[in-house]
Amino acid sequence: MSDDKKRELKDIGRRHFLRNSAVTGIAGAGLASGLGAGAMMQSRQARAAGENGIEVAPGELDEYYGFWSGGHQGEVRVLGVPSMRELMRIPVFNVDSASGWGITNESRRVLGDSARFLNGDAHHPHISMTDGRYDGKYLFINDKANTRVARIRLDIMKTDKITTIPNVQAIHGLRLQKVPHTKYVFANAELPIPQINDGRDLEAPDNYYTMFNAIDAESMEVAWQVIVDGNLDNTDADYTGRFVASTCYNSEKGMTLADTMRAERDWVVVFDVEAIEAAVAAGQHETLGDSPVPVLDGRKGSKLTRYIPVPKNPHGLNTSPDGQYFIANGKLSPTVSIIAIDKLPELFDDAIAPRDTVVGEPELGLGPLHTTYDGRGNAYTTLFIDSQVAKWNIADAIRAYNGEEVNYIRQKLDVHYQPGHNHASLTESRDADGKWLVVLSKFSKDRFLPVGPLHPENDQLIDISGEQMKLVHDGPTYAEPHDCILLRADQLSPSRVWTRDDPFFAETRAMAEADGITLERDNKVVRDGNKVRVYMTSIAPQYGLTEFKVKQGDEVTVVITNLDQVEDLTHGFCLVNHGVSMEISPQQTASVTFTADKPGVHWYYCNWFCHAMHMEMTGRMLVEKA
Ligand code: K7E
Ligand code: CUA
Ligand code: CA
């Protein structure tokens, strides 16, 4: 066939496809199920009008907040669901020009030593819990790229703590203790390394190991680390507070792809948090190098862990919202393994064998990666290779495992394409409500207008409130949301303006007080050797100082307090040719430090649109020649 002919056929195919979808748009999602997933093009009009009967019109508010990881882009994104509108971006492990994240002193304090890294790889966002329910206080997320864990304060939607985990490399799986509350953030370090990693054992992989880490959610200090056999991929906690389970795809401790696939089975390692705490309290730990963190040995034979064999190279691990099961997703096996949590005390008592905790192993399709739940006994598993979501019934899968003839598969729905995580509304809590399912598809291929060789990904929204899953929305996203979490809008209450005594800028306030400055009033330059601190206020459309003078070579800190009280009235401060830019929201104080290395006149201007005279909101830094 000639290339022209091929193109023509492709065009006809596409026209047909579009015609179908126009019909679908009028008929609504209810009728569309018979047309198949491909026809659900009305979704591109940002509509979600499925069984839930919801359409979010302009000016209307969404019922759910969604927090998306930004993958190797490094941030967290806030979306409204079901509209899938992007509401906000929260810089975490990235540098952000608009807010000044990574530039301001306040953000650099949060970043600490790791401010030298300009990148990150954010995978798993999870919201703090009290008694198995989201409490809306914090969101935690891992950085695989630079071995960090960050905390976002959900009242101000800013990252307020970042901790680098010592002695390990590449934090991947991250989950929170659910019960009695989020005391610990559990974080899996994926890649085994020599201990201590100071040049010893380079060629002796047998001596490498990795560790399971618990971080205190309030102090954000590492509470303890547990050495494991193999490696660690994903993790989740139970609803008793005692057990956490992690998948291991590299029981072989292989150093190459082929090595990691040699064994027929890998495992799920279960951690007994109570036993670990008791061992730490009893002083049964060591420390490594100059890190003070207690390190315990949880390798095979330890009383702190148990290793449950599962089919090779498992990936996601997800606790069912009824608290009954850990489900490990097969990846290289078409199955998932259902582990009964109520059998784990017996396992730790050595009353049963590890495999006796597996009560079901349903075959779902090719490449199961992650499972989520509707709170009605059904599970939804992404099938990466099949490009589908399989809806299946847990109780029926257990019956089938026990020899009954029962079909546990409820439905398979095509998604576009190659899904990784999926996430149902409130699924990680006791309140799993089975309304919406987000599927994070790694490939979008032909679903959107082409934008060059780099394609967006495709986050699809599926209505799961009825018997059948219904695809209602395509949402293109920039690289690479690995995961997301949904909670009801009423479970969060973000601030509308800053409070003047917010700890986020407490250190800056303390510095001002030491300089005899009242931030809410003073516009002054304070000199301290070659360090100059410039304090000013802002009220639309003016800075408190329209000029200030420094000497070439001075280290200048500009501190701005936004006195505007009006909601949404954010100012900026951008100093031309100095790489300086930041946000100052209503009642916020923000600061930035730089060297005035060039004599002359340097204009600064407000870069957040604030007023009709926003363009005129400017000032000059006058730098005298040294
Ligand atoms: Cu991409 Cu959760 Cu890091 Cu699976 S992970 S897909
Ligand atoms: Cu102030 Cu724009
Ligand atoms: Ca393996």
Answer yes or no: is 75 within a domain: no
Answer yes or no: is 182 within a domain: no
Closest-lying ligand to the alpha carbon of 613? 2
**Overall pTM surpassing 0.85 (yes/no):** yes
380 confidence band (pLDDT: 50, 70, 90): very high
Q: Which pLDDT does position 52 carry in this prediction?
A: 66
pLDDT at residue 46 is higher than 60: no
Answer yes or no: is 577 within a domain: yes
Q: Which pLDDT does position 43 carry in this prediction?
A: 43
Q: Fill in the amino acid letter for 113.
A: D
Q: What's the mean pLDDT in 40-49?
A: 43
**What is the greatest pairwise CA distance in the chain?**
87
Tell me what percent of the residues of the chain surpass a pLDDT of 90. Answer: 91
Q: Which pLDDT does position 15 carry in this prediction?
A: 35
Closest-lying ligand to the alpha carbon of 251? 3
Closest-lying ligand to the alpha carbon of 542? 2
Answer yes or no: is 14 within a domain: no
pLDDT at residue 404 is higher than 80: yes
Give the whole-angstrom CA distance, residue 499 versus residue 486.
27
Q: What's the mean pLDDT in 113-134?
A: 98
The verdict on whether residue 16 carries a ligand-binding annotation is no
Give the whole-angstrom CA distance, residue 317 versus residue 537.
50
pLDDT at residue 13 is higher than 70: no
CB-based contact 571:563 (threshold 8 Å): no
CB-based contact 19:47 (threshold 8 Å): no
pLDDT tens-digit readout, 456-510: 999 999 999 999 999 999 999 999 999 999 999 999 999 999 999 999 999 999 9
* Structure-token match 């002054």, residue found: 524
Closest C-alpha among 155, 152, 189 to residue 174:
189
Q: Looking at ligand 1, which residue's alpha carbon is closest to its atom 1?
A: 482
Q: Looking at ligand 2, which residue's alpha carbon is closest to its atom 1?
A: 571
Answer yes or no: is 51 within a domain: no
Q: Which pLDDT does position 208 carry in this prediction?
A: 97
Total number of domains in the chain: 1
Q: Which residue has the higher pLDDT, 54 or 380?
A: 380
Any ligand 2 atom below 6 A from CB of 138? no
pLDDT at residue 41 is higher than 70: no
Domain of 611: which CATH number? Answer: 2.60.40.420
Tell me what percent of the residues of the chain surpass a pLDDT of 70. Answer: 92
pLDDT at residue 21 is higher than 90: no
Pocket residues: Cβ below 6 A from ligand 1? 123-124, 172, 234, 315-316, 369-370, 420-421, 482-483
Answer yes or no: is 548 within a domain: yes
Centre of ligand 3 from the C-alpha of residue 268, in Å: 11
Centre of ligand 1 from the C-alpha of residue 423, in Å: 12
576 confidence band (pLDDT: 50, 70, 90): very high
pLDDT at residue 118 is higher than 60: yes
Q: Looking at ligand 1, which residue's alpha carbon is closest to its atom 6?
A: 420
Centre of ligand 2 from the C-alpha of residue 623, in Å: 24
Q: Which pLDDT does position 54 carry in this prediction?
A: 72
Q: What's the mean pLDDT in 61-67?
A: 98
Give the whole-angstrom CA distance, residue 561 versus residue 10.
58
What does pLDDT average to over the chain? 93
Under the phi-then-psi rule, with left for phi > 0, alpha for psi from -120 to 50, and beta for the rest, what region is 446?
A: alpha
Closest C-alpha among 390, 388, 406 to residue 398:
406
Answer yes or no: is 593 within a domain: yes
pLDDT at residue 209 is higher than 80: yes
pLDDT tens-digit readout, 217-266: 999 999 999 999 999 999 999 999 999 999 999 999 999 999 999 999 99
* Structure-token match 């790694």, residue found: 442
Q: Which pLDDT does position 48 carry in this prediction?
A: 47
28-32: long-range pairs with CB below 8 Å, 24+: 29/463, 29/470, 29/472, 30/470, 32/470
Domain span including residue 539: 503-624
Q: Looking at ligand 1, which residue's alpha carbon is closest to its atom 3?
A: 123
589 confidence band (pLDDT: 50, 70, 90): very high
Strand partners, 419: 441
Q: What's the mean pLDDT in 545-571?
A: 98
Q: What's the mean pLDDT in 81-97?
A: 98
The enclosing H or E element of 606 equals none
CB-based contact 584:562 (threshold 8 Å): yes
The verdict on whether residue 606 carries a ligand-binding annotation is yes
120 confidence band (pLDDT: 50, 70, 90): very high
Q: Which pLDDT does position 45 carry in this prediction?
A: 40
Give the whole-angstrom CA distance, residue 82 versus residue 471.
12
Q: Which pLDDT does position 53 carry in this prediction?
A: 67
Answer yes or no: is 556 within a domain: yes
Question: Mind giving me the DSSP string for 333-359?
Answer: SSBEEEEEGGGHHHHHTTSS-GGGGEE
Centre of ligand 2 from the C-alpha of residue 91, in Å: 21
Give the whole-angstrom CA distance, residue 104 versus residue 575.
13
